Structures are given as structure tokens and as C-alpha cells.
Chain A
Amino acid sequence: MVSPETTRPSTDQIRAWLDIVPDPEIPVISLVDLGVIRDVQWVGDTCEITVSPTYSGCPATAVINFEIEAALRRNGVESITLKRQLSPPWTTNWLSDKGRANLEAYGIAPPQAAGGPKHCPQCKSTNLAKVSQFGSTPCKALWRCGDCLEPFDYFKCI
């Protein structure tokens, strides 16, 4: 007889599946890169995923939950529960290094503890000015480079 432990995928395997699910609004980073997947565990035969929302009103939250379920179902996991965890609140410190590098390559300056972008993601100039505290999504602010004159998104540090 085969025990459930040997047939069900490992939590590392599940994390790997979620690491190729793109963020619905910033597709160059995965849900794991974003830091919203706080825990993956088996409770009996049910896979329980703990998710922390980024911003309370972020419209992507519902889509993220849907994408998690879809990714697990694609891989044959049928019984899934999603747990919302508000505390500790999600912070940009949870972004992975891979995610930060991908953001920059995509043209979005990654968050910095100092509160503003390190340099222009296009030309690397440090001659920068903030245009608006909010950008195209709740998690971003709008900045402009004073040298190449390109506006760019900055992933807000919270």
C-alpha cells in the first residue's frame, strides 16, 4: 500500500510551482518573488497555502488567489485551502533578490530602504526626481530620470 506521504508532492515542489506563477500586474516577478506566499503545508490531504495581501485594496489580491489555486490544480492537487494572513503586514523586504533583479531589468526600480530608487533603471543615473507618490498600481510610485529624461516606476518601499 502507498501512503499519502509518498504520493503527494513535497512543499518544496509546490513552492517551485508557485515560483513560475507570474504576479498578475508585474509579470516579470513570481508570486514567490513578491513574498506573498508565507507558508505551504499539508494538513492531512489538504494543501494549505498562507497568503499575505500586499495592499488592503489591491485588486490583484483576488487574481493572485485564483492563480495559486489554478497552478496547484494544473499539477494535480485537488484539495486546497488558502489562508489570509494580515500580521505581520507584508513588506517589500520580502521581495526576493531574483525578483528585485527582474524588476530592474524590466524597467521598474526595486524598493530601497532609503525610500527612493537607487538609480534610473534605464541609464543608471542618480539624477532623479519624484513625479508622484503613486504610479500605475498601488505598489508603485512614479519617478523621472534627469539625464535620460525617461519616466519610470519605482516599487514603493513599505
Chain B
Amino acid sequence: MSVPRIRAPRLRPRWGRSVALWAASAVLLVYVLAPVAWLLSSSFQSEREIVSRPPHWIAQKPTLANFAAIFSAGERSVTYETRRAADPASGGYIPSTASSLVPALGNSLIVACAVVMLNLLVGVPAAYAIAKIRFRGRQASLYAILATRVIPDIALVVPFFLLIRNLGLLDSLWSLIITYLAVTVPFSVFILVSYFESLPDELDKAARVDGCSRAQTLTRVYLPLALPSIVAVMLFAFLASWNEFLLALMFTQTPKSQTLPIIVASFTSDFTISFSFINAAGVIAIIPPVILAIAFERYIVSGLTTGAVKG
């Protein structure tokens, strides 16, 4: 029996793969960054420059006036007369709600931080119980928790609006904090449960035999080990709160409680629109979440994987 002759395979040149990868990466980068870059560029252009056709891709006379206007908006008094007198094209124009931008930043920050803290306080014990304690209704609990998210937010708004209005809590940050908590905690619990389940059960047993109550087992043994998922939860909860729009639209009415997305959205619905100002506001709105996301990038990815930690 003769052995079949094997033709020597022609190796594809190594650099073919690299080129393909670099090309794909470049395309992806452009896709992701181009719109944002344009936003940034626009924010540095004065009103006069921004309305050029075709557009100036890079600001020829970059200016920080837009940002200055945002942060000083509080001092200027915008009356009906002054507003009408200002021509958007000549710059110096501010939307009527501009002065609320900085307070709105503060509101968003307060709400987001409160939601993060409450997410941890409420979610961590619940996740530990579901992951590590055998009790009646354990499986059902997780499904039930996740099921609350199937209903669209709009369906929640109507009854909640009525309830809050009757309680006189309309236009307060608390209405936002509590609703955001309900909206973010299921996902937080999901992430935490996945991570807890990947931690060995026997640690739990060892701790309890060593003298820990259930609560102590959680705080002294599991929490330190679950840090990556906790960071992921904090991140998701913060971003979800910061970015939320619909519920804030419903529950807030004055700058006292309005959050950043509401104010920024209000700029577009003002009578005359100042493009440069809006772009600058947009930039301010995206800076905190983008910084957080990039800084904690690996927690986001690992938070979505069931982390396997071998200590």
C-alpha cells in the first residue's frame, strides 16, 4: 500500500493577518470615535464658525467661550428682552435653562451616588442569600427579580406618577433615587449572584464553623473576594442613573430636582437654538461617564462574565 503524497501547504504570509486586523481596528475606531470627535470639535467652535457650510472639521479659531458660558450662566440674568436681543450667530446667546446646568450636574451626582450606595446595601445581602443559602423559593426569587425588568419603564411611570403626586413628593430627588434603585437593582443582583456562585461553597461552611454568623460570613469572607463584581455593580448603577431620561422627565419639574439629561434636552427645545452651546453642554454631559467607563473598563467586561477566581 503506497503512502499518499502530501502537498506542502503554502503558508499565508504573516503580515496578511496583521494588515487585516489593523484595517478592521481602524474602521472600528473611526466608527466609534468620529461622532464624538465631531461633538468635541463643535464645542470648541464659536457660533459664527459652527454654522459654516461645509463644516470646519477642526476648529480654526477654537474658543472656550461656550464652556465659560455654561459655568457662568448662573450670574447672567436672562430676561425676555436680553434673550431676544442676542443673535445666535453673533454668539453670546444662552438658552433660558442654561443657569440650571450646573445645579443639574449636582443633582445627577447626588442621585447617582445615592443609588449606588443603596444598590449595594440592598443588593449584596440579597445576592448572597440567593447564591449561598438554600431556602424555599430560591430559584423563583431570581426569576421574579429579573422579571420586574420586562415591563417597560413607561408602564411604571403612570401609576408612580399618580402615587408620588398624591404624596406630594413630586419634584424631589427622592422620587428619582427610589425609582432608579428599583430599576437598577435587578441587574446588580444578577451580576452579584453570578459572581458569588463562582466562589467556593466550602468557604461559606468554613467561615460558619469558624464562628461567623451568616452576616459575618458575608462581610468578612465573601465581600473582600467579590470586589471585582462590586465595582462592576457600582459602575453600572452609576451610569444607569446618570444617563436615565424618561423617569426624570416625568418626575421632575423644576431645576430643584432636574438632572443633567433633562436640562441638556431642554436646550434643543428652546425657541432659538445655539448649536455651539448645545455641543458644549453635550461634552460636559458625557465626560463623567466616559472617564468612569474607560477607567474601569476591565471590571465592566469581567462583571459580565461569571468570574472564576482562584485565590
Asked whether A and B interact, the reply is: no
